[in-house]
Chains A and B, each alone.
Chain A
Amino acid sequence: MSDIPSDLRYAASHEWARLEADGSVSVGISDHAQQALGDVVYVELPEVGQHLQAGQQAGVVESVKAASDIYAPVSGEVIAINETLADAPELVNSAPYGSWFFRLQPSDPAELDRLLAADAYKASCDAEA
């Protein structure tokens, strides 16, 4: 069973998105995703200043098992990346919702509403099984 916080939105590709107080969007990967990946050993992040479209490849999570692409859940400019993950990739496993990969300044706030709410994401994970 995986943890799916109800205050976040989710992409079907297993990224979570959190709208911050300042209007930016933090992005990470879900508990379901980190369980499926196994121990994370490297994280490849986008570059600050990069413009991403929703659904565009934004980075890579490399685990002992496989390399998996991460996709931008919404469009926007990358305004911050989480350097801590370079030295402590295992945080993605131990704290998936506390380990943000990058933060976007969204170009279209309506895109957030098109992401899955917690129950819809749970349904899509169950359907995958």
Chain B
Amino acid sequence: MGQRTPLYDQHLALGAKMVDFGGWDMPLHYGSQVEEHHQVRRDCGVFDVSHMTVVDVAGSQAQAYLQRLLANDVARLAQVGKALYSAMLNERGGVVDDLIVYLTQEGYRLVVNASTRDKDLAWLQAQTAGFDVRINERADLAMLAIQGPQARARIMDIVTQVRAALIQELKPFHGLAAGDWFIGRTGYTGEDGLEIMLPAEQAPDFFSELVGAGISPIGLGARDTLRLEAGLNLYGQDMNEDISPLAANMGWTIAWEPVERDFIGRSALQAQREHNEQPRLVGLVLEERGVLRAHQVVRVNGIGEGEITSGSFSPTLGKSIALARVPANTGERAEVEIRNKWYPVRVVKPTFVRHGKVLV
């Protein structure tokens, strides 16, 4: 038996097929993951993401601590509410985790992956040495993500006036506290939407209200196909501790300036940038029938080989897509080996759908 979120019983009551995810019993789908995927792109849906790890960082040197810890620069968060996406690197320049960090009234709030909780907490704690900073895991909070073009409007109709007013004004990639809730305009689907952190004991009633108002519950199966279409990485699959952010389509998240900011992994990353030919993470589209899957071999004529890191069927495109790590000078075509046969694929930028629009 894995860990359970406060919504476990409700998932079962809604007919969820449960699976293990990083030691948690989570809903894979409630009937059809393809239908749930379409629901999010066309309207909205609600995800239980309470398994994710929320960590508050406070203290007089919180900023300096995070400037050392993170490859992106929290000094860019100019006012309370702003958030950024960052890699957390080890000394070899490999990715320990990817996360979102918000500037809050009290300091900073980090949201890190569920599957890396223990490792991340140990790492975060170890790096506090020499800084006046405290980290505080918020295991008392549950988290719901409501995503899709109608998400914000639907939520505004349901929550208190004060929270609705906050949501109305909330800018993309910002998050603010509203009473004991924290509301972020962030997500993992490529659609507009909210991620709401709230006291665990309030989660069951709120989830009930959302489902009662006709907002579809969405499982992890659709969560994976949605994020893949949006070109968003999944830690442990698209990158890990042995992979550079430069080889994971995360180069844009590295804040090289100011040069004096010596974040963990900086020198290794600099050496990679100068000396190595790092592979690239690209998108693949299979025009024929079939499904691209993780670990399938990618062959680039005259150049070399690579590997699919994440692959699936894309309900929005009606064909299979993947993220793959390939030689840096790969062009626009490649081949993938699927069950002992080679299939041609198009190589594209690793974002397939944004705000419901197909980009490839």
A residues near B (Cβ < 8 Å) are: 38-39, 41-42, 44, 62, 64, 67, 90, 93
Cβ of A39 and Cβ of B290 under 8 Å apart?
A: no
Chain A residues near B339 (CB-CB < 8 A):
67
Chain A residues near B313 (CB-CB < 8 A):
39, 41, 62, 64
Most chain B CB inside 10 Å of its own CB: which residue of A39, A42, A62, A93: A39
Known: A64-B225, A67-B339. A41 touches B33 (CB 8 A): no
Which residues of B from 214 to 238 have beta carbons under 8 Å from A? 221, 225
Whether B289 sits at the interface, judged by CB under 8 Å, is yes
Cβ of A64 and Cβ of B290 under 8 Å apart?
A: no
Q: How far is the CA of A90 from the CA of B34 in the complex (A)?
A: 9
Whether B291 sits at the interface, judged by CB under 8 Å, is yes
Chain B residues near A38 (CB-CB < 8 A):
28-29, 33, 221
Q: B294 CB to closest chain A CB, in angstroms?
A: 12
B residues near A (Cβ < 8 Å) are: 28-29, 32-34, 221, 225, 289-291, 312-313, 339
Q: How far is the CA of A39 from the CA of B34 in the complex (A)?
A: 7
Most chain A CB inside 10 Å of its own CB: which residue of B290, B312, B313, B339: B313
B291 contact from A41, A90, A93, Cβ within 8 A: A41
Chain B residues near A42 (CB-CB < 8 A):
289-291
Chain B residues near A67 (CB-CB < 8 A):
291, 339
Chain A residues near B221 (CB-CB < 8 A):
38-39, 64
Q: A58 CB to closest chain B CB, in angstroms?
A: 15
Q: How far is the CA of A90 from the CA of B38 in the complex (A)?
A: 14
Chain A residues near B290 (CB-CB < 8 A):
42, 62
Q: B27 CB to closest chain A CB, in angstroms?
A: 13
Residue of A nearest to B288 (CB): A42
Cβ of B289 and Cβ of A64 under 8 Å apart?
A: no
Q: How far is the CA of A39 from the CA of B291 in the complex (A)?
A: 13
Q: A97 CB to closest chain B CB, in angstroms?
A: 18
Pick 27 A–B contacts, CB within 8 A, sort by A.
Answer: A38-B28, A38-B29, A38-B33, A38-B221, A39-B32, A39-B34, A39-B221, A41-B34, A41-B291, A41-B313, A42-B289, A42-B290, A44-B289, A62-B289, A62-B290, A62-B291, A62-B313, A64-B34, A64-B221, A64-B225, A64-B312, A64-B313, A67-B291, A67-B339, A90-B32, A90-B34, A93-B32
